Amino acid sequence: MATDVVKTFVETCLYLQDPRLVARFQHLCGVRGTFPENASEPREDVRDDGPGLRMRSAGDEVGNGAAVHANGTVSDPKPEDQRTARAKPLRRNSLTGDVGQEFLIHNKFLFYLFTFGTELGNEMFFIVFFPFVFWNIDALVSRRLIVVWAWNLMVGQSTKDMVRWSRPASPPVVKVEVFYNSEYSMPSTHAMTGTAIPFCLFMLTYGRWQYPFLLGLCVALCWSVLVCVSRVYMGMHSVLEVITGFLYTLLILAFFSQTLDKIDNFYMTHAYAPLVIVASHVSLGLLAFSLDSWSTSRGDTAQALGTGAGAALGTHANYQLGLMADPSPAELPLALPPLGAGVVAHSLLRFAVGIAVILLTRMVMKAVTIPLLCRLRGLPVDDVRRARQHMAVELPYRYIVYSVLGFTCVCVVPLLFRLVYLA
């Protein structure tokens, strides 16, 4: 009996890991690959169009021949394009060297929906989301979300580098996205962050804010499902890897549901908290970085841990300076304020000022840190991509830049709001 159960479980896992299942789902959603006749031979029409974070094939087709450009815009086709639907030159990811793939999109709505879903797990979303929640909604919720996000991403990326499963094979899978193709695949860290953030947000706000339970649960579930399904649509993960990422995160959230309050209080009140924060985040980063050779996962891990360290140090500084504005238990649950024009304008102004400070700080720190580290390590400054693949450059670069950003978001910007009467 036990043998039959194990056999069934293994067969189910093999079925869910099959790249043909991903390809069938993509086909159902209107994605068609334009694979060369001999897929094992490299394409000759590849060119390097310069830097970019998330490149897609320039001139790929959408629907009846409309072109998908690298910036995600869609243009109407020329008559001759509709007749011939000829392939255009591909784009190359300047960080990893991965080449974009030609594909046809026959359902524009699903393309834009799942592109939005996958962006919910990317760096730019968190640069916007965490500060907005911290500055305009609930500082306690935001700083605790950052703790969960940082540790969840570190665990997921480290697990990837230990398991070392490759991405779904192409063909038959169409690589709608290529930026993360150099990483290992199991589990899906997009699915992990896309599950951790909404469900942790629900866990932290239900009972603290007044809203219906079913509303919060449905929003969290829809958010998570959208991110998870988008990774299959993009051809970056098998169904098994997405399901594993989802379940893995539920286990991590079960741990944090018991300890998050204690961690937050420790960061605020303990005299040795800054030392513990720096030591723990740096040591875990060194451990994660030693698991495998360079890939984009190393930068993501260091970036998350650096942001978490900076936010934790900012939390400690705020508490020591008496700048905490957390409501007392007697004031809970909090009522959602009416969304008048004045409230919206004030929130948008705070966000615009704060994000300008964050982006300016990020620009300055990157401009200063990378050349300095290159000179210290005797590396050429003119080849940033290669320099960032050196552990001795990338590890301190990511930690320094994003720890400063985390500290700026949690401590510096709120102080600036007080100075300019935006608090």
- Residue 92 makes CB contacts below 8 A (sequence gap 6+) with 46, 47, 48, 49, 55, 98, 99, 100
Q: Any idea how long the chain is?
A: 423
DSSP 8-state assignment for residue 330: G
**Distance in angstroms (rounded) separating the CA atoms of residues 42 and 339:** 55
**Distance in angstroms (rounded) separating the CA atoms of residues 238 and 172:** 12
Q: Strand, helix or coil at 29?
A: coil
Chain-centroid distance, C-alpha 324: 28
The answer to whether 174 touches 26, Cβ cutoff 8 Å, is yes
DSSP 8-state assignment for residue 338: P
Residue among 27, 68, 335, 364 nearest 211 (CA): 335
Catalytic residues: 190, 237
Torsion of CA 234, 238, 242, 247, to 10 degrees: 180
Structure tokens at 385: 């991509």
Output the CA–CA distances (angstroms, integers) from residue 189 to 138, 153, 195, 227, in the order listed: 26, 7, 9, 10
